[in-house]
Structure 1
Amino acid sequence: MRATSYDHYAKDNSALRVGELPDPKVAPGAVLIKVRAAGVNPVDWKVMAGALDALLDTVFPVIPGWDVAGEVVAVGPDTPEFAAGDKVMAYARKDVVHGGTFAELVAVAAEAVAPKPTALSWEQAGGLPLAGLTALRALQAVGLAPTADPQQQPGAGKTVLIHGGAGGVGLFAVQLARAAGARVIATASERNHDYLRGLGAEPVSYGDGEIERLRTLVPDGVDAVVDFVGGVLDVTVAVLKPGAPQASVADPTVTQKGGRYVWVRPNGRELALLGELADAGRLTVEVAGTFGLDGVGAAFDASRSGRTRGKLVIVS
């Protein structure tokens, strides 16, 4: 199969290569997916730089990419959940950094796979899993995750503050919190305020006067805080109601203030919920740009810039 890979750690794109690699094997309980689209996430180039070497074993050459949407072409023994021809998506992180999704084929554990939403294109579905699941898990940590039933939502009457609401994960968290029935206040740069209003959030600018601006909107404080940027504990403490929950995916020190530090896991059941919300019109995915396998480096550069709104997607 054709794939993008690297055979050593690098902090730039110099190690990336495109060429033929062996097709993945399909173990029991796994599915082989023909990749149609694979979302790019900052973790992809951070892993290439060795950022997770202390946590995960690495076997070179590494094919980067942890998001995928595509068609099942084969299933391993004892895998009745799926069949060849199924349209699926998955958060395909594995215990070993090696066989990722920036390739023509990828093998994924069946428990991480969910049906592709019919309402989303291949590119949109390919950009959903990691960021969408991260947002969902963060909202679960503060008790504000939506359900499939729009009449039974945990956010009714509650206000949540989302730090970094226009970022790659924050834009999903805003939509999911709104789907849960919550009032959403989201911090973001001025250029993203209209975008956030379109998602149903009330935007607040970062920087000097941020706490005062938030207190004007919520004089009695917010019922929960979810942080996707880090370095904002002072703001959180200033506007969070006493004893109310908070969670962060960016700042482990949140636990020192009684909050939850969140690390996303592959979960096909939860990913299927996101698919149901997308098909119900309660969740969408903005695609900022698409690249071929030979454009992974350009996609990484765009991701590193921090100026991209929406998902960058590799198509093969």
Structure 2
Amino acid sequence: MRAIQFTEYGPPGVVHIAEVAAPHAGPGEIRVAVRASGVSAGEMRIRSGTLRDVVPTTFPYRTGFDAAGVVDEVGDGVTGVGIGDEVFGMTDSTARGANADFAVLAAWAPKPAAWSWEEAGGAAGSVETATRVLDRLAVGGGHTVLVQGAAGGVGAIAVQLAVARGATVIGTASERNHDFLRSLGAEPTTYGTGLVERIRALAPAGVDAVFDCAGGTLPDLIAIAGDAARVVTIADLTAAAHGVHLSHGTPADDTGGTLGTHADPLASYGLAIAVTLAGEGRLRVPVAAAFPLAEAAAAHELSESRHARGKIVLVN
């Protein structure tokens, strides 16, 4: 089968398509014939070598964490899903390999009828990440939440899930994306100089939690929240130096070095919530761009530009 991989650290051009042996579903797993799969922003850092000292990498590294497709193998012990079912979900966080013709999923849910294959293919990773962080921040009804970098793949989902929990959401993005954020239910503002003052004007009673999807502004975000414990980042590797929790999906035996803490438990249950919200018309997956599988390098280049609004996906 075809699979996307890289065999050395480097720029987007090191990513290429290769012919590899197809995986098979083990106990508690399913295999899908992939229709679409997500491009993970975190894998940009792995591919570039930025995380070489903290995320063990064995070459060749096969990319992709989330996918949507048609079930064609069901592992031992799996119930409630059968051959031919349309699903979306995630691979095991250490196995990955979803950017391929076939992918083995460790967590999944039925593909919502309201979502295209492209939307479903890029949904699971963002849904799990957003759910995990909102859980960590204990976001609920009546809370005010700031999502820093709200127009990206995770940020756009986080906005909608926080709104669904009954929270008031402020989202930062470039001005060209402000109408987009309003359509998701957030009050938009720009990032950069003066952020603390802008947020205080928008939320004079204060902000209960900050979800950082962008990185690089933790001192301001702590000032906005009033307490580093009320800030969680998925993008800033300096988090520990600021007393901020970095939520990540590396193995749970991480000893708390550069990443600063143990991995949080995966919030896979969020996939079922996403299905319900999608059916009610309350959750959509903004797709920034869809590339053929063979153009994965171009997809990585767009992701690395940090100008994509929503999720970047590969289609089979």
TM-score range, shorter chain: 0.7 to 0.9
Partner of 2:297: 297
Q: Which amino acid aligns with 1:143?
A: A
Q: How does 1:77-226 map to 2 (within 5 A)?
A: 77-96=76-95, 100-109=97-106, 112-144=107-139, 154-155=140-141, 157-226=142-211
Deviations 1:156-193 (A, max 9, x none): x2211111111221111111111111111112222211
- 1:220 alignment partner AA: A
In the aligned structure 2, how far is the partner of 1:283 from the partner of 1:221? 27
Relative distance call for 1:19 and 1:11 in structure 2 (3 A) is closer
Instruction: Work out whether residues 72 and 86 of structure 1, in 8 Å CA contact, stay in contact via their aligned partners in 2.
Output: yes
Could you state the TM-score of these two structures normalised by the residue count of structure 1?
0.86
- Secondary structure of 1:274 counterpart: helix
Cα separation, partners in 2 of 1:214 and 1:5, compared to 1, 3 Å:
closer
> CA RMSD of the aligned region, Å?
2.3
Residues 197 and 14 of structure 1: CA distance in aligned 2, closer, same or farther (over 3 Å)? closer
**Cα offset for 1:239?**
2.6
Shift of the 138–266 alpha-carbon distance from structure 1 to 2, 3 Å rule, reads closer
1:150 is matched with none
Shift of 1:54: 4.2
Alpha-carbon spacing, 1:29–1:51, altered in 2? closer, same or farther (3 Å): farther
Q: For 2:109, what is the secondary structure of its paired residue?
A: strand
Instruction: Tell me the amino acid that sits aligned with residue 229 of structure 1.
Output: A
State whether residues 117 and 275 of structure 1, in contact with CA within 8 Å, keep that contact through their aligned partners in structure 2.
yes
Does the alignment pair 1:285 with 2:280? no
The amino acid of 1:276's aligned partner reads: T
Question: Once the 2 structures are TM-superposed, how far is the Cα of residue 27 of structure 1 from its aligned partner?
Answer: 1.8
Task: Name the SS of the counterpart of 1:169 in structure 2.
Answer: helix
CA distance in 1, matches of 2:12, 2:149: 27
Uncovered stretches (5+) of structure 2, i.e. residues with no partner: 250-264
Distance (Å, rounded) in 2 between the aligned partners of 1:116 and 1:80: 17
Q: Normalising by the residue count of structure 2, what TM-score does the alignment of the two structures yield?
A: 0.86
The answer for the alignment partner of 2:258 in structure 1 is: none
Name the SS for the 1:69 alignment partner.
Answer: strand
Contact 2:144 2:209 in 1 (8 A): yes
CA distance in 1, matches of 2:158, 2:206: 19
SS of 2:223 mapped into structure 1:
helix
What runs of 5+ residues in structure 1 fail to find an aligned partner? 145-153
1:95-132 Cα deviation digits (max 9, x unpaired):
24xx50111111222xx222212221111011111122
User: Which residue of 2 is the match for residue 33 of structure 1?
Assistant: 32
State the identity %. 42
User: CA, structure 1 residues 222+268, in 2 after alignment: closer, same or farther (shift >3 Å)?
Assistant: closer
**How many angstroms apart in 2 are the aligned matches of 1:12 and 1:258?**
31
